[in-house]
Structure 1
Amino acid sequence: MKFLSQAFVVVCATLFGSVVGDAAASTFSPARPPAIPLAVKSPYMSTWQYAGSDGGNGGYLAGQWPQFWAGQVAAWTGMIRVDGTTYTWMGAPTGPALVTQTSFEYTSTKSVFTMDVGGLVEMNITFLSTLTPDDQKRQSLIFSYLDVGVQSLDGNSHDVQLYTDISAGESAYHVIPAITDRLFRMGFWRSLRCRTMGSRYHQGWQNQLLFSETSDQADWGYWYYATKKVHGLSFQSGSDATVRANFQSNGNLTNTKDTDYRAINAQYPVFGFASDLGQVSGSVNTLYTIGLTQEQAIQFDGATGVVPLTSLWTSYFSSETDATKLSFVYNDYGTASQTAAALDSQISSDSIGLGGQDYLTITSLAARQAFGALQLVGNSTKQYLFLKEISSDGNVQTVDVIFPFHPVLLYLKPELLKLLLDPLFENQESGQYPNMYSMHDLGSSYPNATGHPDGNDEQQPLEECGNMLIMTLAYSQRAQDKAYLQQHYKILKQWTQYLIQEALIPADQISTDDFAGSLANQTNLALKGIIGIEAMAVIANMTNNTADGANYTNIAHDYIDKWQVYGIAQDATPPHTTLGYGLNDTHGLLYNLYGDQELGLKLVPQKVYDMQSAFYPTVADTYGVPLDTRHNYTKSDWEMFTAAIASDDTKAMFIKELASWINDTPTNRPETDLYSATTGDWPGQGAGTFTARPVVGGHFALLALQAQTAAGIHN
């Protein structure tokens, strides 16, 4: 481990109480989301400002603590002192009055707050979490930016000091402040009690538990909080009351360290920065970065057995504590801002073109959340992309979570889908999974992708076989990579044989909507399997296995003809597909029809598309069409899959109702994909069951279909 130079002392950080003041009305553009993304870049960097009325404060940065996606408080604090009076602009420290938030706006990569500080100065506060699907180096760095701009509001010059401090919430991290020539930096990591470190070097880290989580937060790694060393910058570590009081009274900090090593909850320690901006008339900006480094990121049971995989950034930087990495991130802000603006513009233009402002409201909120479940690992020779099934299970590489997520990758970077599929193929093709059908996930607890050599993963065999066949072909078509199909032909054929045996008349089993319970003869599940067989016919033909191709095509077409008899309530008014064969008084979202369209198969007759488009408006509720007749809840990912293949009017209905839900929902966590279509609130199983999940990548389903043209796929 490389040591930090010129190091100060270690202190600890934890959560603080909440003080919520009355906030003046703010505008929200394009909507007031259920939670506002602040620093969202990985499963372990996922900090939000809760906004919904079920426990949030309506979308205001000041007066409430930011929180980790799972609900733990992260007492990230911001104060500003103008002409001797101190105000709070982030968090809920005791004492100062709150600034007046006048507006909030989000894009795909940014959350921007505008604040009026006593009518004297204006603050523009930007949280930027970059998405760089075309740049693996930058995407692999788990860092986010906070840019605070201050300018005079009344035309006069004002004496201004800016303050921010950080703790790690109830997860109890150490804090390691240190100084370099250009940057102050601070790291913190999980531990139970504080440790010291010498004047130049680390001593050992306490209680690092590799590949371990506590309440979904990592038990290993190093956190950094940094700003540039400039004139007027001061710092201090110590109890929250002492450090913050020093700033409130003096406008600066003492440049001292707290050597009282103690339990986390004893005089809650923080590490703070104060910047004396002097007399401010024009705009003055102060930039901070926050980041997490973990050299070892994933434990993976691959072709050679269980091995640790390093974070991909280690191919570009030497170690977790390498100062050049921190300097690179900080000094890269100009490039990061330009790259983010370009992506924001692309998603904005494409979304508005397909579904208007309502669709942009949906896609731009989903982008950071979708990518926030991912971690790039490996080296310059071989890369993998791992995904955590956040909140609903915690599994690694869950196939039926990758499936609703994958449209965002088809739209932005199909090659990343291959990096998600590769670990699944590698594990199963190495003979480490005994079942003949596709596995459900690569491990029951992220970040341990250690497989299921006993075959006892969650059983969704029809679901996962169909998903793997559809996604493999979708990647190959978009990336024009026929070799990938040939490489995995044997196991794809194996999974197809399972579908041939089981797809037409599905046994009593669960689908991806396992929370709704199992059911025999599921109409929508059968359709996925049949589409999977036809996908294999295309794969066979693309790899010159034409005899197989002809056989699979014959089977798929025979099955789809029978499926239309078994699964459609022909005599209903209007006619529609059923939840299960013969259950003519039932219905559900036929979202698996999307696979036929995204692959350009033309297996399912157009009359089925038209029939469903005519039916959905007849059962629509305030915030969407219920998932099926068993409950009144819906799922936003499947609604966008369904919208993407619907008629123009029905598509517009789905989009409008989901955009309305984003603005109206009382839920107060990072966007849930499961909610009551009637009230917009949590469904019966309680708050927070489904939150911050990457399945919102499915909100890009319309954009993924648009990308077909570039890949030469025609419907």
Structure 2
Amino acid sequence: MHVQHACLTPGPELRRAHRARAFLLTSSTRHPPQASAMLLRALTALALCACTASAQPDEADFTPIVVPLAVRGPYLGAYLTGREDKTLVSMDPHYWTTLPLGWKGLLRVDGSTWNWMGNLTEWPAARNASIRHTAAETGFTLTDDPPTVALHASFLSPVTPADLFRQSLPFSYLHLTAESLDGQPHDVDVYSEVNGLWLADEEHEELEWTVHEPASRSGQDFVGLRARLRHQRPFEEAFHNDLWSNEWISTDRILQGDLWYAAHVEPGSTVRTTFAAGDDAVTTRRLFAETGSLHSTVNETSPRPTRTRDARNASRVLDEPVFALAHSFGRISPASPPEARSALLAIGHVRDPLVQYMTGTPEVETVVPLRPLWASTFRDAAHLLGWFLSDYPTAKRLSDDFNAKLYADARAVESQEYAHIVAISTRQIFMALEAVWDESVEGRRAEEGLAAWSPLTGEPVPAMVMLKEISSNGNCQTVDVIAPFLPFLLYASPTLLPLLLEPIHRYMATGQYVPVPPAHDLGDHYPNATGHNDFLYPGLPIEEAGNALCLQLAGMRVADPSSTPLSAHERVKHWVNKASSWVGKKGQRRVGWEADVVAGRDHRREGARMARDQARERYALLKKWADYLEEESLYPGDQRTTDDFFGSAPNQTSLVVKGIMGLRAMSEIAADLGETADQAYYLDVSNRFRDTFLEMTISRDKTHLLGTYNNQSSWVTHYNLYFDKLLGTDVFPESVYRMLDAFYPTVAEPYGPPLDSRFPTRAKTDWLAWASALFPPSSPSRALFVQALSRYFRQDRNAVFGDSITPQDGWSVGFLSRPVAGGHYALLGRAVMDQARADAERAARAREGRGMFALAGLVGLVVAALVGWRGARRCVRRRKGYVELGRPRAGSRAARGSADGVWLAESPRSVFELAELEDEEEDGEDEGGEDAWAKRGGSVGGAGTGQDKRRD
């Protein structure tokens, strides 16, 4: 029985079921052995079902096409591929190319040995009771038969997208925990091994090995087995003759670097760890099966081939050196603490240097080796590995936090099924990436600009991130491969985007590349980012120019880099309950992974700041790319689109959309950088192009957009419109989106609409996801695209997960294991950008409100100053004798005219008129004193005359 996605750690229901089963088996003598065995199996099944029923929402029934085990870079990728059940017991882990890797395991319970991983048929197979999958981890529960002991095997490839330093480490974890199921004590030992197939497919390659033990270096509490190819070929992948094309193609295996297999050794632990390095596989396994441990010795007959086969019988392996670890837990019981029945292992593929990169000037070409980012902090791989093993609790917590947030956000944006889609896509994204330490002059200048942060020192480390175009042709830093997984970058890792773009910008800025638009890639095959200095014409020029501009703008707009961080009370860093939704400022749901990089920097504002600084530095380059789009994109020549299998053709409307969006992106970039003239110019160009495009592209029956100009039967899945929705530019009217929403269901197949009417047997999963984000949640097309993706991810007939599929049957037909799976985050990416715009608008309103308040305050101050000034003037007038509102002062003019005194309140003149009189007096003298006063209508003789005039 295969229980999908059951919980790994048994809860109260499972333990109660096991106790009940144990009681029945020990107290009853009436049942014959067969009946007891049947009862035992039934109770175990009920217990596992109870565990499944109590699983959390993010642990629901879901087994994907391919189950990742250890995925940590271009050359470390182990999967369970093919077959519906995905059982770890009877399947060999495979590299993403579908070729097998040597990773096998045995479980020894009370002297009886069971095969728990890798199909070792010499021993009975353990029961693969459950599988659980998250964004970062795959866990299995395996038992003996009948079940008395469970082995929980958890494969964790940490996902820490805000912490790029941790994310770049070339190791993955395997955590093993034994548990007594029947309440009785049991002797338990666990064994696992790897072989030279982790280094190369070719069995004739010779291996050499060493061992690092805890005593060999101070502070390294681990046993580490290191194997490597004897003949190292830096920056070189292996090639083989392809049977289909009869061409020599890459095997995608690097002929450089070390394989590490290591186990953490906790000081004072009761768990005894032993090893074998270089002994034959059969001998090593049998030794463990007989004794439960290994001899902890190193076979000195090195080097030897990965496998040596019988010359007369090729199926018979005569010798196979393996690197094995065994863990003796001793006698475990339900009372045994977890640390007494657990083992932590790490597997990794380590290279230094990683990539060679083209720099220099048009006159002088210089190729430099780029070292891994971790080399900035750790003295060697052993030092790094010791820290990596000790960091497991933190890596596990960060990965669990990300997974819970991802599921909560995906459910809020779309559905639980959509959450499964993005979770299974996540590890594949990072498989293509390697972070490098930028030791160049540019890097030193940009230490505070383009940087990752060391978790040890807390200091910024100048960095770039290199990308391998997995499977399709192995290119380095392919622009049209970075663009599809933009949604993931915006949702989870905004600082990663400018670090991916920097190698492209820097190479283009050298002037060694002749064409104006950006290069399609930086090298024909990874890890050689040696550029295309001999190319006179770029591949996909409109695609890449439009992509580069839209990517730059998206990175700048993911947050406001100048905003003030929210206070600790306003900013919720982690959810109170993993099952609850994310709640941010003012009780609103916040979509997107929120985290600080070291030194308390919010990774969203850091990403936006880095992208804006990068755009300011490379502004002239961006402007050249926009000018190229102005010249070429409205009527594109005979060019290809991103997906080469459609072939080239003139006037492809998908390219026109990309060009229009690139031009609009340039206008917005100019606006953000204060280049107002460029902003207006490129805005005008993009609007004119848009108007012309709509006149020529809407079909005569007004049902859809044409795939090419003047071809009424053509159409495409217009995924490039996603940039319009993502960036909130509103270039295209809503009527276009309503039209497409009604059209796509009319051409859809079970696995979504074809990407192009010219080639109806191809669709792309990343573009299906992008297209889904063009429409609101209630629309028919959005539901159609998401359901197509979900159906594909449950298509168990595929051996490998690829992004190119047949829409009729859901077969994967190339483009395997590529990072474009990050495009499946399209709905989440749009939600994050919508949120960022809403935040920016609220901030603008707040600034406007603060501005109005400041203006009101300024006006108040001015009024107060005027009133004060007027009051001061009145005081001066009182001294001169005119402005008393009570009895006139002795000696005043009013008093001089009346022996009885005069109240100015009864005067025919108002205070303001008197003030005018004063102003006139300041222009000259009294003009004759009392005569002048009389001429102006005053009364010198007393109040009577004035009162009579007022009555009149």
TM-score of the aligned structures, taking structure 2 as reference length? 0.68
Amino acid at match of 1:255: S
Taking a change above 3 Å as real, the CA distance of residues 456 and 164 of structure 1, as seen in their structure-2 partners, is: farther
State the SS of the aligned residue for 2:472: coil
Instruction: Give me the whole-angstrom Cα distance separating, in 1, the residues matched to 2:764 and 2:171.
Output: 31
2:280 is matched with 239
Q: How many residues align?
A: 663
1:418 is matched with 498
The 10-residue stretch of structure 1 (578-587 or 362-371) with the greater mean CA deviation from structure 2: 578-587
* Residues 610, 647 of structure 1: 8 Å contact kept: no
* Residues 538, 549 of structure 1: 8 Å contact kept: yes
2:262 is matched with 226
Instruction: Give me the whole-angstrom Cα distance separating, in 2, the residues matched to 1:586 and 1:281.
Output: 68
1:310 is matched with 371
Instruction: Give me the whole-angstrom Cα distance separating, in 2, the residues matched to 1:224 and 1:456.
Output: 43
Instruction: Give me the whole-angstrom Cα distance separating, in 1, the residues matched to 2:473 and 2:138.
Output: 28
Amino acid at match of 2:171: F
- For residue 449 of structure 1, report the CA deviation from its aligned partner: 0.5
1:277 is matched with 329
Instruction: Give me the whole-angstrom Cα distance separating, in 2, the residues matched to 1:619 and 1:91.
Output: 44
Instruction: Give me the whole-angstrom Cα distance separating, in 2, the residues matched to 1:312 and 1:232.
Output: 34
Which of 645, 653, 656 pairs up with 1:526?
656
- For residue 30 of structure 1, report the CA deviation from its aligned partner: 4.2
Q: Does 1:375 align with 2:434?
A: yes
State the SS of the aligned residue for 1:188: strand
* Residues 110, 128 of structure 1: 8 Å contact kept: yes
Q: Does 1:603 align with 2:683?
A: no
Residues 156-235 of structure 1: pairs in structure 2 closer than 5 A = 156-169=184-197, 170-171=201-202, 172=205, 173-181=207-215, 182-189=221-228, 191=229, 206-214=230-238, 215-229=251-265, 231-235=271-275
Amino acid at match of 1:329: F
2:135 is matched with 108
Which of 530, 534, 541 pairs up with 1:454?
534
Instruction: Give me the whole-angstrom Cα distance separating, in 2, the residues matched to 1:489 and 1:416.
Output: 20
Taking a change above 3 Å as real, the CA distance of residues 271 and 499 of structure 1, as seen in their structure-2 partners, is: same
Which of 476, 481, 503 pairs up with 1:401?
481
Which of 337, 342, 349 pairs up with 1:292?
349
Which of 400, 415, 422 pairs up with 1:341?
400
Amino acid at match of 1:312: L
Taking a change above 3 Å as real, the CA distance of residues 483 and 163 of structure 1, as seen in their structure-2 partners, is: closer
Amino acid at match of 1:240: A
Which of 676, 683, 687 pairs up with 1:546?
676
Q: Does 1:613 align with 2:613?
A: no
The 10-residue stretch of structure 1 (297-306 or 232-241) with the greater mean CA deviation from structure 2: 297-306
Instruction: Give me the whole-angstrom Cα distance separating, in 2, the residues matched to 1:123 and 1:180.
Output: 26
1:390 is matched with 470
1:139 is matched with 167
Deviation digits for residues 347-388 of structure 1, max 9, x if unmatched? 111111111111111100010001111000014552100110
State the SS of the aligned residue for 1:519: coil
1:663 is matched with 794
Deviation digits for residues 215-256 of structure 1, max 9, x if unmatched? 212222222111133553222231111101111222222223
Instruction: Give me the whole-angstrom Cα distance separating, in 2, the residues matched to 1:69 and 1:495.
Output: 36
Structure with the bigger RCO (C-alpha within 8 Å, sep 6+) is 1
- For residue 654 of structure 1, report the CA deviation from its aligned partner: 1.3
Deviation digits for residues 670-693 of structure 1, max 9, x if unmatched? x2101111111134xxxxx31110
* Residues 210, 298 of structure 2: 8 Å contact kept: no
2:715 is matched with 587
- For residue 398 of structure 1, report the CA deviation from its aligned partner: 0.2
2:866 is matched with none
Taking a change above 3 Å as real, the CA distance of residues 406 and 303 of structure 1, as seen in their structure-2 partners, is: farther
State the SS of the aligned residue for 2:348: strand
1:13 is matched with none
Deviation digits for residues 416-471 of structure 1, max 9, x if unmatched? 10000011010011101100111100001101111011125761111100000100
Amino acid at match of 1:87: W
* Residues 185, 227 of structure 1: 8 Å contact kept: yes
- Structure 2: segments with no counterpart, 5+ residues: 6-59, 216-220, 239-250, 309-318, 439-459, 559-606, 842-952
- Structure 1: segments with no counterpart, 5+ residues: 1-23, 192-205, 684-688
The structure in which a higher percent of residues are helix is 2
* Residues 303, 426 of structure 1: 8 Å contact kept: no
* Residues 803, 812 of structure 2: 8 Å contact kept: no
Instruction: Give me the whole-angstrom Cα distance separating, in 2, the residues matched to 1:325 and 1:555.
Output: 53
Deviation digits for residues 498-546 of structure 1, max 9, x if unmatched? 1111111111110101111111111111101011111111122222222
State the SS of the aligned residue for 2:344: strand
Seq. identity, %: 35
Amino acid at match of 2:2: A
Which of 88, 95, 101 pairs up with 1:61?
88
Instruction: Give me the whole-angstrom Cα distance separating, in 1, the residues matched to 2:489 and 2:168.
Output: 16
Q: Which has the larger radius of gyration?
A: 2
Q: Does 1:47 align with 2:78?
A: yes
Deviation digits for residues 549-604 of structure 1, max 9, x if unmatched? 212111111111111122221416xx011221122222221000011111121111
Deviation digits for residues 147-173 of structure 1, max 9, x if unmatched? 111101222221211111111313544
Which of 384, 397, 403 pairs up with 1:325?
384
Taking a change above 3 Å as real, the CA distance of residues 62 and 549 of structure 1, as seen in their structure-2 partners, is: same
Amino acid at match of 1:537: S
- For residue 112 of structure 1, report the CA deviation from its aligned partner: 1.0
Deviation digits for residues 310-362 of structure 1, max 9, x if unmatched? 10001110123xx3322111111111111111111111111111111111111
* Residues 410, 416 of structure 2: 8 Å contact kept: yes
2:776 is matched with 647
Instruction: Give me the whole-angstrom Cα distance separating, in 1, the residues matched to 2:405 and 2:325.
Output: 36
Q: Does 1:466 align with 2:591?
A: no
Amino acid at match of 1:624: G
2:415 is matched with 356
2:241 is matched with none
Taking a change above 3 Å as real, the CA distance of residues 704 and 682 of structure 1, as seen in their structure-2 partners, is: closer
* Residues 194, 323 of structure 2: 8 Å contact kept: yes
The 10-residue stretch of structure 1 (263-272 or 106-115) with the greater mean CA deviation from structure 2: 263-272
Amino acid at match of 1:706: A
Amino acid at match of 1:274: A
Instruction: Give me the whole-angstrom Cα distance separating, in 2, the residues matched to 1:516 and 1:154.
Output: 60
Residues 482-497 of structure 1: pairs in structure 2 closer than 5 A = 482-497=612-627
1:692 is matched with 817
Which of 152, 165, 178 pairs up with 1:150?
178
- For residue 132 of structure 1, report the CA deviation from its aligned partner: 1.6
Deviation digits for residues 596-649 of structure 1, max 9, x if unmatched? 111121111111111111111222211212112222221010011111121323
* Residues 233, 256 of structure 2: 8 Å contact kept: yes
Instruction: Give me the whole-angstrom Cα distance separating, in 2, the residues matched to 1:339 and 1:570.
Output: 54
State the SS of the aligned residue for 2:128: strand
Instruction: Give me the whole-angstrom Cα distance separating, in 1, the residues matched to 2:795 and 2:354.
Output: 38
Instruction: Give me the whole-angstrom Cα distance separating, in 1, the residues matched to 2:685 and 2:235.
Output: 45
1:569 is matched with 699
* Residues 104, 117 of structure 2: 8 Å contact kept: yes
Q: Does 1:88 align with 2:115?
A: yes
* Residues 33, 59 of structure 1: 8 Å contact kept: no
Which of 814, 825, 830 pairs up with 1:705?
830
Amino acid at match of 2:394: T
